[in-house]
Amino acid sequence: MKRFLTRLIIVAAIVGCNSEEIVEVRYLASPVHTNYIYSFDEQTKVLAVADTLVRGAQLNAVVNGTKKIDDKLYMAVKVGRERYYAAVESLVADPRAVVQESAVFVRTPASIISDVATSKVGGNAAKGEQLAVIGYDSIDAAGRVNRYMVRQGSVEGYIYAKYTVFDREQSLLRYKAEQYDKVHKAVKNPFGGGEAIGCDFYPTERVVFENNKMPEACYSLYLNISPSVIGNIEAYIDFAKQTKINTFVIDIKDNECPGYKAEAMKLYSPTNYARAGSTKEAMYAKAVRRLHEEGFYVVGRITCFKDSYLVKDHPEVAITEKATGKPFKHNKAYWPSPYDRKVWQFNVELAKEAVRKFGFNEINFDYVRFPDRMTKVEQLIDYHNKYDESKVQAIQRFVQYACDEIHAVGAYVSIDVFGEAANPGYTTAYGQYWPAISNIADVICGMPYPDHFSNGYYGIKKPWNHPYEILNAWGERVQGRQAVTPTPAVVRTWVQAYNVMRHVDRNGIKYDAENVEKEIRGLYDAGLLGGYTTWHSGSNLEKYKAQKGAFMIDYLAEKKAK
């Protein structure tokens, strides 16, 4: 047993004295993660801290062996052959009573989950807010609570303990403010996306699932939900096995293009359910099963905040026109508001169901943003911002919520962001701030398609015709964003696998094996080693075969060999 130098000099009085000891099991309780047991010297009358134990530790308590010390009762406990003492209020008969905190303070703004089974969000806990503790779900081997059950006004629900502390002053602190605050305060907000400093940058403890290993570098092919694609999975497997491809990304829900008839769709969005393929569930089950049998890592892709069918079912969750109150149509689609927690719940429940039903290793969320190109109409629409959040705060908090809920079912989470999000100096108009997302997500997936860059971007003339140069320049800027992120995500980038769009340049290059390889080498030479995913909306196998040379290379192994 460890002994502390500090000792308490006391006068002890025997409270109970029976000829036979009555020994009962008790559990060590505490309002923090640990508590003390003490040694008592009968000769010197000295009580000293003997050891620190985690709460929940099972002890053999001598219930008729108590001492009163300065008006405080201590009960004898036996550890092996040794006899120690613990404060009476720290010994409980019910193992569920070992958590004694009555309140916690919010260090990182987080969702309060009112229904754990369905990930329903009951409220948002603000930084510095005090929450009354009324229960908890579980504690780990270190005595730490997983989630507290708390009361916030009339709302009762669960908040992850990792977002709370026991002291108000500590809850108001920002993570390494002297290092990071100056960085994020310097970021400008010219487009209304929100102040970067309003996001949270406390480190995220990275999860590693024992039975779900993410490849160090994911070399990924994208597959859409067409029966000619996902229903032809054997042909894609045969092709991939001839290359270094180790990952497939399969659509679960795209805007107005739902995959199989998911129960989450039936419950939250009947139109998505009705429009989903009636025979596709079996197709998904076979595809994911066969991919796993062949050793591939499988990612399910879900678009979040661009979903016309969800808006049709629930217009109350939509971004609306102030003048009419009707859902606002942007880029030929209706957009649920990223501020609305019911929208969060639908997409996360859909993700959890896909993981449970098919065994997806990871969920990839796309359209994790507000609509873009909105500056001219911003004052004419209503986002229904219930919690008075900035756009960057809402997006970061959705990512936090999604990761927590999906990690609980054993899968990783990747988040797609525009290539623009890598640019330094400002937050984007649509709420994607790279460090805020990267600090939480398992994987961050930029979409720097060369034909999306304007002529002269980064000083490169017709960047779409220079795939290596534009991706390398972009990758260097990503490294700058990662460097100001306390716990940066893996970077796995979407690469252009389609030819330059004709409206960009009728004479633009074809994205054949050579040019796809140039993209990927540009990323790897910039130090982005987490892999790539092909973006070709048609998922055409013949197109992939024409690009085969780019998929034959183990880029990470080459880098390690240098």
Q: What distance in Å separates the CA atoms of residue 398 and residue 340, rounded to the nearest whole number?
A: 10
Shared domain check, 166 and 63: no
Shared domain check, 201 and 340: yes
Shared domain check, 201 and 54: no
Mean pLDDT, the chain, whole residue set: 95
Q: What distance in Å separates the CA atoms of residue 78 and residue 145, rounded to the nearest whole number?
A: 26
Domain assignment present for 190? no
CA 547 to chain centre: 33
Which band of pLDDT confidence, cut at 50, 70 and 90, is reported for residue 45? confident
Shared domain check, 49 and 165: no
- Model confidence at 554: pLDDT above 70: yes
Average of per-residue pLDDT across 19-40: 93
The answer to whether 205 touches 160, Cβ cutoff 8 Å, is no
Domain assignment present for 179? no
Q: What distance in Å separates the CA atoms of residue 136 and residue 116, rounded to the nearest whole number?
A: 12
**Alpha-carbon distance values, 134 to 72, 89, 157, 239 (Å):** 26, 18, 9, 56
Shared domain check, 201 and 136: no
Domain assignment present for 191? no
3-class SS letters over 146-176: CEEEEEECCEEEEEEHHHEECCHHHHCCCCC
Domain assignment present for 178? no
Identify the CATH number of the domain in which residue 127 sits.
2.30.30.40
Which band of pLDDT confidence, cut at 50, 70 and 90, is reported for residue 334? very high
Shared domain check, 109 and 44: no
Domain assignment present for 132? yes
Shared domain check, 376 and 252: yes
Query: Which of 348, 354, 312, 351 lies closest to 333, judged by CA?
Result: 312
Shared domain check, 205 and 283: yes
* Last-in-domain residue among 64, 97, 130: 97
Shared domain check, 251 and 140: no
Q: Which domain holds residue 111?
A: 103-173
Number of domains composing the chain: 3
Q: What distance in Å separates the CA atoms of residue 250 and residue 255, rounded to the nearest whole number?
A: 14
The answer to whether 199 touches 184, Cβ cutoff 8 Å, is yes
Q: What distance in Å separates the CA atoms of residue 263 and residue 252, rounded to the nearest whole number?
A: 13
Among 123-127, 275-279, 366-370, 480-484, the range scoring the smallest mean pLDDT is: 275-279
Query: Which of 338, 337, 348 lies closest to 267, judged by CA?
Result: 348
Q: Give the pLDDT score at 261.
A: 97
Instruction: Give pLDDT tens digits for 121-160.
Output: 999 999 999 999 999 999 999 999 999 999 999 999 999 9
- Model confidence at 10: pLDDT above 80: no
Which band of pLDDT confidence, cut at 50, 70 and 90, is reported for residue 53? very high
Shared domain check, 550 and 411: yes
Domain assignment present for 2? no
Average of per-residue pLDDT across 91-108: 97
* Last-in-domain residue among 97, 124, 152: 97
Shared domain check, 244 and 145: no
Residues 6+ away with beta carbon under 8 Å from 471: 448, 450, 493, 495, 518, 519, 520, 522, 523, 526
The answer to whether 193 touches 143, Cβ cutoff 8 Å, is no
Average of per-residue pLDDT across 505-526: 97
Domain assignment present for 1? no
Domain assignment present for 481? yes
Shared domain check, 455 and 390: yes
pTM, rounded to two decimals: 0.94
Within 384-424, residue ranges assigned H as helices are: 391-407
* Last-in-domain residue among 65, 97, 129: 97
